[in-house]
Structure 1
């Protein structure tokens, strides 16, 4: 994989050319900044910027003023190759709080190991109704210890308005959901994004996460996507590397609360 070329393609298609991530969201270009604007239940933030040292502080101030005027908390999603090189320091100085760093990993589906089967006693089921969404949300709360209210609303909105843009699945032990994940499909691009993979604590280390990655990858192949993209936390990076994903850069969410 040509890391430089793939990263440039990712920046062009998924950041500068970003599409709304759900019903009710819109993407705007404000000067050299591309941002998503949603209601309080959706994601608000900057996905791409092309600012230099002379204009960075003004661009940051403009986004703070804009989102503060809407009464919205928002995120500036900073990537390791973004310029200027001190953009993270400037965001902190302006009042943003950095969240834990993640690794942008991309895999070309033709090169991935997609033979991972779920362990004995586990079956993977596609989610296509409110009951399935409740299972995904319940797993999210147990696996991550955070509220799944926003996730539940977003998945329900996708299911009702644009079901072809999200693929969700749960892993069941009998009738009990023990792991769940979703994939966001971006029409007109070559990228599908893997998100939200989580397994409840007592079921970890058995290969369920790996099987859910393989399941979603197979769906992406069937729908004609060439690349899979993941913002990987340290716990999942090693699994993804064994499947054939490669790290390209790091990404840090900088959050501003008005």
Structure 2
């Protein structure tokens, strides 16, 4: 494990700060399993991970986790990293009813490496989200690109920002305030650590490869630097990975989600 990955592991994963949350979010431990889930099932996403391994009986903890979220009627993602123990964790999760989703690359590096001047297309502007209407428009963008999802992630972001304005910054790219948002992204901060993290970046297909996503990277990186965060973390898809590695971020590990849906959530899909 390289030194930067080791710092991420210690400061974020072992501290149970994998994905910060705002009001209405529970963060707890069940043995070696670190859990994040909403007080009200379905109000937000549920996620678990096991950064210290699963001990001598991994299947016990996997089955116990599946049973816990099944009883809540809730979909849960088990987030794995390529260095997690046991080495066959992915196979064990699948044997216990979890479904593998697409791999992503974990990128880490200096926030300053991501700050570059980018020219936006004519008539396009970038600004911070500053109203409930902005978050509603971002929700419409996500629905357009990804289809229906559990809960309203953008409403959760709005509540989190409202409860603690220093917890994250949300940026959008648009032509004007009345037309669809072209791209939206956010930067989340982990106080007491060296790390900020970038999320989102979804862009309408016909507006891709025009510097729009790249402009949100620079904006978020500068915000992180201004707030005192030296390092940036991203889970990246194949589309954005080349942009970010060219800027100097390191590809340090793979991260793979495994999803378990209870009978109730499957009936509602």
Asked if Structure 1 and Structure 2 have the same fold, meaning a TM-score greater than 0.5 normalized by the shorter chain, the answer is yes
**What displacement does 1:137 show?**
1.6
**What displacement does 1:136 show?**
1.6
Q: What is the rounded CA distance, in whole Å, between the counterparts of 1:30 and 1:149 in structure 2?
A: 24
Quote the RMSD (CA, aligned, Å): 1.9
Q: What is the rounded CA distance, in whole Å, between the counterparts of 1:52 and 1:75 in structure 2?
A: 16
One of 183, 186, 200 as aligned partner of 2:190: 186
Q: Do the aligned partners of residues 103 and 57 (structure 1) sit closer, same or farther apart at CA in structure 2, a change above 3 Å counting? A: same
Aligned partner of 1:207 in structure 2 is: 211
Q: Do the aligned partners of residues 59 and 148 (structure 1) sit closer, same or farther apart at CA in structure 2, a change above 3 Å counting? A: closer
Q: What is the rounded CA distance, in whole Å, between the counterparts of 1:145 and 1:119 in structure 2?
A: 27
Aligned partner of 1:100 in structure 2 is: 102
Contact 1:137/1:148 (<8 A) preserved: no
Aligned partner of 1:137 in structure 2 is: 139
One of 12, 15, 20 as aligned partner of 1:14: 12
Matched, 1:245 2:249: yes
Matched, 1:154 2:156: yes
Aligned partner of 1:88 in structure 2 is: 90
Q: Do the aligned partners of residues 21 and 48 (structure 1) sit closer, same or farther apart at CA in structure 2, a change above 3 Å counting? A: farther
- 5+ residue gaps, structure 2, are 263-269
**What displacement does 1:99 show?**
1.0
One of 50, 53, 56 as aligned partner of 1:48: 50
What SS does the aligned partner of 1:213 have? helix
Aligned partner of 1:173 in structure 2 is: 175
**What displacement does 1:53 show?**
6.6
Contact 1:135/1:170 (<8 A) preserved: no
Q: State how 1:2-81 maps to structure 2 within 5 Å.
A: 4-19=2-17, 20-38=20-38, 39=40, 40-52=42-54, 54-81=56-83
**What displacement does 1:242 show?**
2.3
**What displacement does 1:79 show?**
0.5
Q: What is the rounded CA distance, in whole Å, between the counterparts of 2:115 and 2:220 in structure 1?
A: 12
Report the TM-score, using the length of structure 2 for normalisation.
0.88
Report the TM-score, using the length of structure 1 for normalisation.
0.92
What SS does the aligned partner of 2:77 have? strand
- 5+ residue gaps, structure 1, are none
Give the stretch that moved more between structures: 107-116 or 185-194: 107-116
Alignment length (residue pairs): 256
